[in-house]
Amino acid sequence: MTSLAKIKPELCISCGLCAVYAPDIFDYDEEGILLFKEEPEAHQQFIPQEQEAALRKAAGKCPVRAILMEKLAD
């Protein structure tokens, strides 16, 4: 099953946790605000099944809930 990750960079406090848990998905701009590694301008991205666990951890650890995860039916 694919997931959709949605991010709210306006909430991000640059704590750095999300890229610890999901380094293949998330990266930061020059101010430490999160963005998608592959699509820095995007606010949502489809996440393949093999990266879902990492996404779930990152979303769960984010102190300001700037990362949301939606399950999508195949």
Q: Give the footprint of ligand SF4 on this chain (CB under 6 A).
A: 12-18, 34, 62-64, 66-67
Q: How far is the CB of 19 from ligand SF4 (least distance, A)?
A: 7
Q: Which two tokens stand for residue 74?
A: 């195949």
* Ramachandran class of 16: left when φ > 0, alpha when ψ lies in -120 to 50, beta otherwise: left
Q: How far is the CB of 2 from ligand SF4 (least distance, A)?
A: 21
- Decide whether 18 or 55 has the Cβ nearer to ligand SF4: 18
SS3 call for 9: helix
- Decide whether 6 or 52 has the Cβ nearer to ligand SF4: 6
* Alpha carbon distance 8, 66 (integer Å): 5
